[in-house]
Structure 1
Amino acid sequence: MPALPVPVVTIGLLVLSNLFMTFAWYGHLKYKAAPLVAVILVSWGIAFFEYLLQVPANRIGYGHFSAAQLKTIQEVITLTVFCAFSVLYLKEPLHWNHALGFGFIALGAFFIFHRW
């Protein structure tokens, strides 16, 4: 069976790692009554699994992508995952200014990836 292409593996691992990290960073916001120490410990536990995916993603992707491209991929995925998380989990709507700001970030990604 042929191996998956490097971009597929890299991006797939980064998407999965972002799901963990988004919950580690923002999942506790629904539980304001939880003690801060408990929230920190749970977040660290969740972040451990993020690192198990993110570090290999960057290791696999580096060489096919530059470090700047890997970081850009990471940020675009982070915003995409966060938008879904914000709407579906936190029940916070996104507004036109969010879309505009994210559009500018996407424009920045274009400049990172475009061959000049």
Structure 2
Amino acid sequence: MHQPSCRMNDEEYQLLVRAAAACNMSVAKYLARAALKAARNLDRTAAEIAGERDMLKGLFDLRTALNRIGNNLNQVAAALNSDEPAPQARAVLARVDQVSLDVDVLVQRYLDGGRPAA
């Protein structure tokens, strides 16, 4: 068995950790699979690889937004269950609508072969 190593800065490593976690893999397993996939297809262009990186960043950003919305919805539900006013409810629902549109845009750009908006 061989155990190659690589160096990366903190930001790159954290991106790798998040990507591995999103796939329910260890960092080592994720890194090995990603490297082997790239090695098996040497015809891929740098633009394709950059597009995938942009797509992953877009997905991570959307996941973060959805987590925040979930927290806000929990606060709205707790307030309403306690017969308290929840003036932030409309804003939370508007954010749900916006993130839904963002998901649609990201998916459509992926299907069209384009890169997500920054």
Structure 1-normalised TM-score? Answer: 0.38
Which of the two has greater helix per residue?
1
Structure 2-normalised TM-score? Answer: 0.38
| Structure exhibiting the larger radius of gyration computed from Cα positions | 2
